[in-house]
Structure 1
Amino acid sequence: MNLDPRIIVALDFPAEGPALALADQLDPKRCRLKVGKELFTRLGPSFVARLQDLGFEVFLDLKFHDIPNTVAAACAAAADLGVWMVNVHASGGRAMMEAARARMAEFAKSPHLIGVTVLTSLDGDDLAAIGCPGEPAERVVQLAGLAAEAGLGGIVCSPREAAMVRAALGPGFLLVTPGVRPSIAASGDQKRVMTPSEALAAGADYLVIGRPITAAPDPLAALSAIEAELAP
Protein backbone atom coordinates (compact mmCIF):
# COMPACT_ATOMS: atom_id res chain seq x y z
CA MET A 1 0.00 0.00 0.00
CA ASN A 2 1.36 3.39 -1.03
CA LEU A 3 0.47 5.86 1.70
CA ASP A 4 1.36 8.83 -0.50
CA PRO A 5 0.90 7.92 -4.17
CA ARG A 6 2.83 10.13 -6.56
CA ILE A 7 0.39 9.86 -9.46
CA ILE A 8 -2.66 12.11 -9.81
CA VAL A 9 -4.98 10.95 -12.59
CA ALA A 10 -6.70 13.80 -14.42
CA LEU A 11 -10.41 13.08 -14.85
CA ASP A 12 -10.76 15.28 -17.94
CA PHE A 13 -14.11 13.94 -19.12
CA PRO A 14 -17.23 15.73 -20.38
CA ALA A 15 -19.70 13.74 -18.30
CA GLU A 16 -20.13 11.78 -15.09
CA GLY A 17 -20.51 8.32 -16.68
CA PRO A 18 -17.06 7.94 -18.25
CA ALA A 19 -15.39 9.65 -15.29
CA LEU A 20 -16.90 7.20 -12.80
CA ALA A 21 -16.22 4.28 -15.13
CA LEU A 22 -12.56 5.25 -15.12
CA ALA A 23 -12.50 5.72 -11.34
CA ASP A 24 -14.02 2.27 -10.89
CA GLN A 25 -11.03 0.78 -12.75
CA LEU A 26 -8.42 2.47 -10.56
CA ASP A 27 -7.17 1.87 -7.02
CA PRO A 28 -7.41 4.77 -4.51
CA LYS A 29 -4.39 3.36 -2.69
CA ARG A 30 -2.27 3.87 -5.83
CA CYS A 31 -3.39 7.23 -7.19
CA ARG A 32 -5.35 10.38 -6.49
CA LEU A 33 -7.84 12.01 -8.84
CA LYS A 34 -7.91 15.53 -10.29
CA VAL A 35 -11.25 17.21 -10.96
CA GLY A 36 -11.03 20.23 -13.24
CA LYS A 37 -13.26 22.99 -14.49
CA GLU A 38 -15.41 21.03 -16.92
CA LEU A 39 -16.50 18.22 -14.60
CA PHE A 40 -16.89 20.49 -11.59
CA THR A 41 -18.99 22.97 -13.57
CA ARG A 42 -21.23 20.17 -14.85
CA LEU A 43 -21.52 18.08 -11.71
CA GLY A 44 -20.51 20.24 -8.75
CA PRO A 45 -19.55 19.31 -5.19
CA SER A 46 -21.66 16.15 -5.17
CA PHE A 47 -19.35 14.58 -7.73
CA VAL A 48 -16.32 15.31 -5.57
CA ALA A 49 -18.12 13.65 -2.66
CA ARG A 50 -18.89 10.63 -4.80
CA LEU A 51 -15.21 10.16 -5.64
CA GLN A 52 -14.33 10.54 -1.97
CA ASP A 53 -16.91 7.89 -1.12
CA LEU A 54 -14.99 5.57 -3.46
CA GLY A 55 -11.90 6.19 -1.31
CA PHE A 56 -10.08 8.70 -3.54
CA GLU A 57 -8.39 11.88 -2.40
CA VAL A 58 -9.25 14.73 -4.77
CA PHE A 59 -7.16 17.53 -6.22
CA LEU A 60 -9.68 20.27 -7.06
CA ASP A 61 -8.05 21.95 -10.04
CA LEU A 62 -10.05 25.17 -10.49
CA LYS A 63 -7.13 27.64 -10.61
CA PHE A 64 -8.84 30.45 -8.71
CA HIS A 65 -7.81 33.94 -9.88
CA ASP A 66 -9.78 36.95 -8.61
CA ILE A 67 -9.66 39.64 -5.93
CA PRO A 68 -8.29 38.43 -2.59
CA ASN A 69 -11.60 38.14 -0.70
CA THR A 70 -13.26 36.20 -3.52
CA VAL A 71 -10.38 33.74 -3.86
CA ALA A 72 -10.12 33.29 -0.09
CA ALA A 73 -13.84 32.46 0.10
CA ALA A 74 -13.56 30.01 -2.80
CA CYS A 75 -10.62 28.24 -1.13
CA ALA A 76 -12.60 28.01 2.11
CA ALA A 77 -15.45 26.42 0.16
CA ALA A 78 -13.00 23.87 -1.25
CA ALA A 79 -11.74 23.13 2.25
CA ASP A 80 -15.33 22.56 3.35
CA LEU A 81 -15.55 19.87 0.65
CA GLY A 82 -12.64 18.03 2.27
CA VAL A 83 -10.49 17.98 -0.86
CA TRP A 84 -6.85 16.98 -0.60
CA MET A 85 -5.45 19.83 -2.72
CA VAL A 86 -6.67 23.07 -4.33
CA ASN A 87 -4.90 25.65 -6.47
CA VAL A 88 -4.88 29.36 -7.29
CA HIS A 89 -3.09 31.31 -10.01
CA ALA A 90 0.12 32.72 -8.55
CA SER A 91 -0.15 35.56 -11.07
CA GLY A 92 -3.13 36.79 -9.02
CA GLY A 93 -0.56 38.37 -6.73
CA ARG A 94 0.81 38.10 -3.24
CA ALA A 95 -2.17 39.69 -1.47
CA MET A 96 -4.54 37.22 -3.13
CA MET A 97 -2.42 34.23 -2.14
CA GLU A 98 -1.94 35.49 1.42
CA ALA A 99 -5.70 35.93 1.81
CA ALA A 100 -6.29 32.38 0.62
CA ARG A 101 -3.63 31.00 2.94
CA ALA A 102 -5.11 32.88 5.92
CA ARG A 103 -8.56 31.41 5.32
CA MET A 104 -7.17 27.91 4.96
CA ALA A 105 -5.37 28.26 8.29
CA GLU A 106 -8.77 28.44 9.97
CA PHE A 107 -9.41 24.76 9.18
CA ALA A 108 -8.15 21.99 11.46
CA LYS A 109 -7.38 19.90 8.37
CA SER A 110 -6.93 22.16 5.37
CA PRO A 111 -6.12 21.06 1.83
CA HIS A 112 -2.71 21.62 0.33
CA LEU A 113 -2.83 25.09 -1.22
CA ILE A 114 -0.60 25.48 -4.26
CA GLY A 115 -0.03 28.14 -6.90
CA VAL A 116 -0.23 27.71 -10.66
CA THR A 117 2.81 29.31 -12.30
CA VAL A 118 2.90 29.02 -16.13
CA LEU A 119 0.50 26.66 -17.91
CA THR A 120 2.28 23.79 -19.65
CA SER A 121 0.56 24.71 -22.92
CA LEU A 122 2.51 27.99 -23.08
CA ASP A 123 5.95 28.64 -24.52
CA GLY A 124 8.04 31.80 -24.82
CA ASP A 125 6.11 33.10 -27.84
CA ASP A 126 2.81 32.64 -26.02
CA LEU A 127 4.08 34.55 -22.99
CA ALA A 128 5.35 37.40 -25.17
CA ALA A 129 1.94 37.64 -26.82
CA ILE A 130 0.28 38.32 -23.45
CA GLY A 131 2.85 40.89 -22.39
CA CYS A 132 5.17 38.66 -20.35
CA PRO A 133 8.37 38.46 -22.41
CA GLY A 134 11.03 35.96 -21.45
CA GLU A 135 11.32 32.23 -21.16
CA PRO A 136 8.75 30.20 -19.20
CA ALA A 137 11.41 29.01 -16.76
CA GLU A 138 12.19 32.57 -15.65
CA ARG A 139 8.51 33.30 -15.05
CA VAL A 140 7.99 30.01 -13.21
CA VAL A 141 10.85 30.60 -10.76
CA GLN A 142 9.66 34.17 -10.14
CA LEU A 143 6.08 33.09 -9.42
CA ALA A 144 7.24 30.14 -7.33
CA GLY A 145 9.21 32.50 -5.10
CA LEU A 146 6.18 34.76 -4.76
CA ALA A 147 3.97 31.81 -3.82
CA ALA A 148 6.47 30.67 -1.18
CA GLU A 149 6.66 34.18 0.28
CA ALA A 150 2.84 34.24 0.47
CA GLY A 151 2.87 31.03 2.51
CA LEU A 152 1.62 28.57 -0.08
CA GLY A 153 2.77 24.97 0.26
CA GLY A 154 3.87 24.48 -3.32
CA ILE A 155 3.24 25.17 -6.97
CA VAL A 156 2.16 23.66 -10.24
CA CYS A 157 4.90 23.81 -12.86
CA SER A 158 6.11 21.94 -15.88
CA PRO A 159 8.60 19.19 -15.05
CA ARG A 160 11.15 21.09 -17.13
CA GLU A 161 11.20 23.82 -14.48
CA ALA A 162 11.13 21.50 -11.48
CA ALA A 163 14.89 21.33 -10.99
CA MET A 164 15.26 25.12 -11.09
CA VAL A 165 12.45 25.64 -8.58
CA ARG A 166 13.78 22.91 -6.29
CA ALA A 167 17.24 24.52 -6.37
CA ALA A 168 15.76 27.93 -5.60
CA LEU A 169 13.35 26.93 -2.84
CA GLY A 170 14.78 23.73 -1.41
CA PRO A 171 13.00 20.65 -0.02
CA GLY A 172 9.57 20.72 1.55
CA PHE A 173 7.97 22.93 -1.10
CA LEU A 174 5.60 20.76 -3.14
CA LEU A 175 6.06 20.57 -6.89
CA VAL A 176 3.06 19.25 -8.82
CA THR A 177 3.85 18.63 -12.46
CA PRO A 178 1.47 18.19 -15.35
CA GLY A 179 3.06 17.72 -18.76
CA VAL A 180 4.15 14.22 -17.73
CA ARG A 181 4.06 11.64 -20.50
CA PRO A 182 5.34 8.05 -20.39
CA SER A 183 8.00 7.42 -23.01
CA ILE A 184 5.51 5.70 -25.34
CA ALA A 185 2.87 8.46 -25.18
CA ALA A 186 2.39 11.54 -27.37
CA SER A 187 2.75 15.00 -25.83
CA GLY A 188 -0.71 16.15 -26.97
CA ASP A 189 -1.33 19.89 -26.48
CA GLN A 190 1.35 20.34 -23.83
CA LYS A 191 4.67 21.78 -24.96
CA ARG A 192 6.97 21.37 -21.95
CA VAL A 193 6.90 17.66 -21.13
CA MET A 194 9.01 14.92 -19.52
CA THR A 195 8.63 11.24 -18.78
CA PRO A 196 7.54 10.28 -15.23
CA SER A 197 11.01 9.14 -14.18
CA GLU A 198 12.58 12.32 -15.57
CA ALA A 199 10.06 14.46 -13.69
CA LEU A 200 10.78 12.77 -10.36
CA ALA A 201 14.53 13.03 -10.95
CA ALA A 202 14.07 16.76 -11.58
CA GLY A 203 12.44 17.20 -8.17
CA ALA A 204 8.70 16.73 -8.75
CA ASP A 205 6.62 15.44 -5.84
CA TYR A 206 3.39 14.61 -7.66
CA LEU A 207 2.75 13.81 -11.32
CA VAL A 208 -0.51 14.76 -13.02
CA ILE A 209 -1.19 12.26 -15.79
CA GLY A 210 -4.30 12.18 -17.95
CA ARG A 211 -4.68 10.57 -21.37
CA PRO A 212 -1.87 7.98 -21.06
CA ILE A 213 -4.04 6.44 -18.33
CA THR A 214 -7.58 7.63 -19.04
CA ALA A 215 -7.48 6.77 -22.76
CA ALA A 216 -5.71 3.43 -22.29
CA PRO A 217 -7.60 0.20 -23.05
CA ASP A 218 -6.75 -0.95 -19.52
CA PRO A 219 -6.27 2.10 -17.26
CA LEU A 220 -5.05 0.09 -14.27
CA ALA A 221 -2.46 -1.66 -16.44
CA ALA A 222 -1.33 1.73 -17.74
CA LEU A 223 -1.01 2.97 -14.14
CA SER A 224 1.00 -0.13 -13.29
CA ALA A 225 3.33 0.47 -16.26
CA ILE A 226 3.97 4.03 -15.10
CA GLU A 227 4.60 2.83 -11.54
CA ALA A 228 7.12 0.37 -12.95
CA GLU A 229 8.81 3.22 -14.82
CA LEU A 230 9.10 5.10 -11.51
CA ALA A 231 10.54 2.15 -9.58
CA PRO A 232 14.20 2.56 -8.57
Structure 2
Amino acid sequence: MKNSLIIALDFANKNEVSNFLKAFENEKLFLKVGMELFYQEGPSIIHDLKEQGHKIFLDLKLHDIPNTVKSAMKGLARLNCDLVNVHAAGGFEMMESALEGLEAGTLAGNKRPACIAVTQLTSTSEEQMKNEQLIQVPLEESVLHYAALASKAKLDGVVCSTFEARSIHQSLGSSFLTVAPGIRLETDNAQDQKRVATPEYAKSEGVSAIVVGRSITQSDQPLEKYLLFKHCWEGVLS
Protein backbone atom coordinates (compact mmCIF):
# COMPACT_ATOMS: atom_id res chain seq x y z
CA MET A 1 0.00 0.00 0.00
CA LYS A 2 2.77 2.43 0.87
CA ASN A 3 4.42 4.24 -2.05
CA SER A 4 1.51 3.33 -4.32
CA LEU A 5 0.45 5.35 -7.34
CA ILE A 6 -3.31 4.89 -7.70
CA ILE A 7 -5.06 5.72 -10.99
CA ALA A 8 -8.59 7.07 -10.57
CA LEU A 9 -10.81 5.47 -13.22
CA ASP A 10 -12.88 8.55 -14.05
CA PHE A 11 -15.10 6.72 -16.52
CA ALA A 12 -18.83 6.14 -16.84
CA ASN A 13 -18.84 2.50 -17.87
CA LYS A 14 -16.93 -0.74 -18.36
CA ASN A 15 -16.28 -0.16 -22.07
CA GLU A 16 -14.49 3.11 -21.40
CA VAL A 17 -12.38 1.40 -18.74
CA SER A 18 -11.49 -1.45 -21.10
CA ASN A 19 -10.44 0.96 -23.83
CA PHE A 20 -8.28 2.89 -21.37
CA LEU A 21 -6.55 -0.21 -20.01
CA LYS A 22 -5.62 -1.46 -23.49
CA ALA A 23 -2.72 0.99 -23.44
CA PHE A 24 -1.25 -0.71 -20.37
CA GLU A 25 -1.03 -4.27 -21.74
CA ASN A 26 0.27 -6.49 -18.93
CA GLU A 27 0.98 -3.69 -16.45
CA LYS A 28 -0.44 -4.47 -13.00
CA LEU A 29 -1.99 -1.30 -11.63
CA PHE A 30 -3.57 0.11 -8.48
CA LEU A 31 -6.95 1.43 -9.66
CA LYS A 32 -9.55 3.59 -7.93
CA VAL A 33 -13.18 2.80 -8.67
CA GLY A 34 -15.39 5.67 -7.56
CA MET A 35 -19.10 6.32 -7.34
CA GLU A 36 -19.66 7.16 -11.00
CA LEU A 37 -18.29 3.84 -12.26
CA PHE A 38 -19.45 1.61 -9.41
CA TYR A 39 -23.03 2.88 -9.48
CA GLN A 40 -23.25 2.18 -13.22
CA GLU A 41 -21.53 -1.21 -13.32
CA GLY A 42 -21.85 -2.58 -9.80
CA PRO A 43 -19.67 -5.30 -8.26
CA SER A 44 -18.94 -6.88 -11.66
CA ILE A 45 -16.43 -4.12 -12.48
CA ILE A 46 -14.48 -5.01 -9.33
CA HIS A 47 -14.48 -8.71 -10.20
CA ASP A 48 -13.26 -7.98 -13.73
CA LEU A 49 -10.41 -5.75 -12.61
CA LYS A 50 -9.31 -8.14 -9.87
CA GLU A 51 -9.25 -11.01 -12.37
CA GLN A 52 -6.84 -8.94 -14.45
CA GLY A 53 -4.50 -8.76 -11.46
CA HIS A 54 -5.07 -5.13 -10.48
CA LYS A 55 -5.32 -3.78 -6.94
CA ILE A 56 -8.52 -1.87 -6.18
CA PHE A 57 -9.35 1.18 -4.10
CA LEU A 58 -13.15 1.26 -3.87
CA ASP A 59 -13.85 4.93 -3.24
CA LEU A 60 -17.49 5.16 -2.10
CA LYS A 61 -16.93 7.47 0.91
CA LEU A 62 -19.61 5.83 3.06
CA HIS A 63 -21.37 8.23 5.43
CA ASP A 64 -24.50 7.04 7.23
CA ILE A 65 -25.66 5.76 10.59
CA PRO A 66 -23.26 3.23 12.14
CA ASN A 67 -25.43 0.14 11.59
CA THR A 68 -26.00 0.94 7.91
CA VAL A 69 -22.29 1.50 7.28
CA LYS A 70 -21.42 -1.69 9.15
CA SER A 71 -23.82 -3.73 7.00
CA ALA A 72 -22.61 -2.08 3.79
CA MET A 73 -18.98 -2.76 4.64
CA LYS A 74 -19.77 -6.37 5.45
CA GLY A 75 -21.01 -6.75 1.87
CA LEU A 76 -18.20 -4.76 0.30
CA ALA A 77 -15.59 -6.86 2.11
CA ARG A 78 -16.62 -9.83 -0.02
CA LEU A 79 -15.44 -8.01 -3.16
CA ASN A 80 -11.84 -8.51 -1.98
CA CYS A 81 -10.81 -4.90 -2.62
CA ASP A 82 -7.49 -3.70 -1.26
CA LEU A 83 -8.70 -0.35 0.07
CA VAL A 84 -12.09 1.18 0.97
CA ASN A 85 -13.14 4.39 2.67
CA VAL A 86 -15.67 6.30 4.74
CA HIS A 87 -16.25 9.96 5.59
CA ALA A 88 -14.62 10.88 8.91
CA ALA A 89 -17.45 13.38 9.45
CA GLY A 90 -19.66 10.36 10.14
CA GLY A 91 -18.01 10.16 13.53
CA PHE A 92 -16.11 7.75 15.74
CA GLU A 93 -18.90 5.21 16.21
CA MET A 94 -19.57 5.03 12.47
CA MET A 95 -15.89 4.49 11.65
CA GLU A 96 -15.59 1.83 14.34
CA SER A 97 -18.67 0.09 12.93
CA ALA A 98 -17.24 0.25 9.41
CA LEU A 99 -14.21 -1.69 10.57
CA GLU A 100 -16.38 -4.23 12.38
CA GLY A 101 -18.34 -4.79 9.17
CA LEU A 102 -15.18 -5.25 7.13
CA GLU A 103 -13.77 -7.77 9.57
CA ALA A 104 -17.05 -9.70 9.68
CA GLY A 105 -17.41 -9.76 5.89
CA THR A 106 -13.85 -10.68 4.93
CA LEU A 107 -13.78 -14.25 3.68
CA ALA A 108 -11.59 -16.78 5.47
CA GLY A 109 -8.07 -16.75 4.11
CA ASN A 110 -8.40 -13.24 2.66
CA LYS A 111 -6.81 -10.10 4.04
CA ARG A 112 -9.20 -7.45 5.33
CA PRO A 113 -9.31 -4.42 3.03
CA ALA A 114 -7.51 -1.43 4.45
CA CYS A 115 -9.99 1.26 5.52
CA ILE A 116 -9.28 4.97 5.46
CA ALA A 117 -11.36 8.04 6.25
CA VAL A 118 -11.87 11.13 4.11
CA THR A 119 -10.97 14.22 6.12
CA GLN A 120 -11.52 17.32 3.96
CA LEU A 121 -11.82 16.92 0.20
CA THR A 122 -8.92 18.36 -1.80
CA SER A 123 -11.54 20.30 -3.77
CA THR A 124 -12.48 22.15 -0.56
CA SER A 125 -10.76 25.41 0.35
CA GLU A 126 -10.48 26.77 3.88
CA GLU A 127 -12.92 29.52 2.98
CA GLN A 128 -15.50 26.98 1.75
CA MET A 129 -15.05 24.87 4.86
CA LYS A 130 -15.68 27.83 7.12
CA ASN A 131 -18.57 29.35 5.15
CA GLU A 132 -20.38 26.17 4.09
CA GLN A 133 -19.53 23.62 6.81
CA LEU A 134 -19.36 26.26 9.56
CA ILE A 135 -16.09 24.78 10.81
CA GLN A 136 -14.19 27.80 12.10
CA VAL A 137 -10.83 26.24 12.95
CA PRO A 138 -8.04 26.31 10.32
CA LEU A 139 -8.41 23.63 7.64
CA GLU A 140 -5.29 21.77 8.76
CA GLU A 141 -6.62 21.59 12.31
CA SER A 142 -9.89 20.12 11.01
CA VAL A 143 -7.97 17.50 9.00
CA LEU A 144 -5.76 16.58 11.99
CA HIS A 145 -8.81 16.28 14.22
CA TYR A 146 -10.52 13.90 11.79
CA ALA A 147 -7.30 11.92 11.38
CA ALA A 148 -6.95 11.50 15.15
CA LEU A 149 -10.58 10.35 15.33
CA ALA A 150 -9.96 7.81 12.56
CA SER A 151 -6.87 6.53 14.35
CA LYS A 152 -8.83 6.19 17.60
CA ALA A 153 -11.38 4.09 15.67
CA LYS A 154 -8.47 1.86 14.55
CA LEU A 155 -8.77 2.77 10.87
CA ASP A 156 -5.66 2.36 8.74
CA GLY A 157 -5.33 5.98 7.64
CA VAL A 158 -6.98 8.93 5.95
CA VAL A 159 -7.51 10.69 2.66
CA CYS A 160 -5.94 14.13 2.95
CA SER A 161 -4.05 16.63 0.85
CA THR A 162 -0.28 16.55 0.61
CA PHE A 163 -0.11 19.62 2.83
CA GLU A 164 -1.38 17.84 5.95
CA ALA A 165 0.53 14.57 5.56
CA ARG A 166 3.65 15.55 7.48
CA SER A 167 1.69 16.79 10.49
CA ILE A 168 -0.47 13.66 10.48
CA HIS A 169 2.56 11.37 10.51
CA GLN A 170 4.22 13.43 13.23
CA SER A 171 1.11 13.06 15.36
CA LEU A 172 -0.05 9.53 14.51
CA GLY A 173 3.06 7.73 13.27
CA SER A 174 4.52 6.72 9.93
CA SER A 175 2.44 3.54 9.65
CA PHE A 176 -0.82 5.55 9.58
CA LEU A 177 -1.66 5.87 5.88
CA THR A 178 -1.99 9.22 4.15
CA VAL A 179 -3.57 8.91 0.70
CA ALA A 180 -3.40 12.15 -1.27
CA PRO A 181 -5.54 13.05 -4.30
CA GLY A 182 -5.06 16.34 -6.12
CA ILE A 183 -1.71 15.28 -7.55
CA ARG A 184 -0.65 17.12 -10.69
CA LEU A 185 2.49 17.76 -12.68
CA GLU A 186 3.49 21.42 -12.77
CA THR A 187 2.26 21.61 -16.37
CA ASP A 188 -1.18 20.09 -15.61
CA ASN A 189 -4.46 21.94 -15.14
CA ALA A 190 -5.66 21.90 -11.52
CA GLN A 191 -9.30 21.67 -12.74
CA ASP A 192 -11.71 21.53 -9.76
CA GLN A 193 -9.02 20.65 -7.22
CA LYS A 194 -7.97 23.41 -4.79
CA ARG A 195 -5.09 21.92 -2.77
CA VAL A 196 -2.88 20.36 -5.44
CA ALA A 197 0.74 19.22 -5.29
CA THR A 198 3.30 17.55 -7.51
CA PRO A 199 4.25 13.90 -6.92
CA GLU A 200 7.77 15.00 -5.97
CA TYR A 201 6.42 17.32 -3.28
CA ALA A 202 4.04 14.62 -2.02
CA LYS A 203 7.00 12.27 -1.69
CA SER A 204 9.02 14.85 0.22
CA GLU A 205 6.13 15.34 2.66
CA GLY A 206 5.91 11.63 3.43
CA VAL A 207 2.61 10.89 1.68
CA SER A 208 1.92 7.14 1.71
CA ALA A 209 0.11 6.93 -1.64
CA ILE A 210 -1.00 9.34 -4.35
CA VAL A 211 -4.13 9.31 -6.49
CA VAL A 212 -3.93 10.59 -10.06
CA GLY A 213 -6.99 10.79 -12.28
CA ARG A 214 -7.65 13.02 -15.26
CA SER A 215 -3.99 13.90 -15.80
CA ILE A 216 -3.57 10.28 -16.87
CA THR A 217 -7.05 9.18 -17.94
CA GLN A 218 -7.60 12.17 -20.23
CA SER A 219 -4.12 12.06 -21.73
CA ASP A 220 -3.63 11.18 -25.41
CA GLN A 221 -0.78 8.93 -24.24
CA PRO A 222 -1.94 7.52 -20.89
CA LEU A 223 0.81 4.92 -20.52
CA GLU A 224 3.54 7.50 -21.11
CA LYS A 225 1.86 9.92 -18.68
CA TYR A 226 1.53 7.17 -16.09
CA LEU A 227 5.21 6.28 -16.40
CA LEU A 228 6.13 9.95 -16.05
CA PHE A 229 4.12 10.20 -12.82
CA LYS A 230 5.66 6.94 -11.67
CA HIS A 231 9.14 8.29 -12.33
CA CYS A 232 8.39 11.51 -10.46
CA TRP A 233 6.84 9.58 -7.56
CA GLU A 234 9.20 6.62 -7.26
CA GLY A 235 12.26 8.04 -8.95
CA VAL A 236 12.43 5.11 -11.37
CA LEU A 237 11.15 4.28 -14.82
CA SER A 238 9.56 0.86 -15.28
Q: TM-score, normalising length from structure 2?
A: 0.92
Name the SS of the counterpart of 1:25 in structure 2: helix
> Aligned partner of 2:117: which letter?
G
Q: Alignment partner for residue 49 of structure 1, among 47, 54, 66?
A: 47
> Structure 2: how far apart are the matches of 1:27 and 1:135?
45
In structure 2, what is the Cα distance between the partners aligned to 1:5 and 1:141?
Answer: 21
Distance 2:70 2:171 in 1: 27
Q: Is the 8 A contact 1:124 1:133 kept in 2?
A: no
Q: Secondary structure at the match of 2:115?
A: strand
Counterpart check, 1:162 vs 2:160: no
| Runs of 4+ residues over 3 Å off in structure 1 | 27-30
Aligned-residue offset at 1:183: 1.9
1:90-137 superposed Cα distances (whole Å, 9 cap, x missing partner): 110000011111222333421001101001111111111221123221
Q: Larger deviation: 137-146 or 70-79?
A: 70-79
Q: Which one-letter code corresponds to 2:74 in the other structure?
A: A
Give, in whole Å, the separation in 1 of the partners of 2:174 and 2:7. 24
Q: Which of 204, 225, 229 is the matching residue for 2:228?
A: 225
Aligned length: 230
Equivalent residue runs for 1:114-193 within 5 Å = 114-128=116-130, 129-193=132-196
What SS does the aligned partner of 2:32 have?
strand
Identity, % of aligned positions: 39
* Alignment CA distance shift 1:165-1:5 (3 Å): closer
Q: Does structure 1 retain, via aligned residues, the 8 Å contact 2:190–2:196?
A: yes
Shift of 1:31: 2.9
TM-score by length of 1: 0.94
**Does the C-alpha gap of structure 1 residues 85 and 222 become closer, same or farther in structure 2, counting only changes over 3 Å?**
same
Q: Which amino acid aligns with 1:191?
A: K
Shift of 1:5: 6.0
What SS does the aligned partner of 2:174 have? coil
RMSD: 1.6
| CA shift for structure 1 position 25 | 2.0
For structure 1, list consecutive stretches of 5 or more residues without a partner in the other structure: none
- The one-letter code sitting in structure 2 at the alignment partner of 1:163 is R
Q: CA deviation at 1:30?
A: 5.2
Compared CA separation, residues 26 and 5, structure 1 to 2 (3 A): farther
Alignment of 1:1-232 (within 5 A): 6-26=4-24, 31-106=29-104, 107=106, 108=108, 109-128=111-130, 129-230=132-233, 231=235
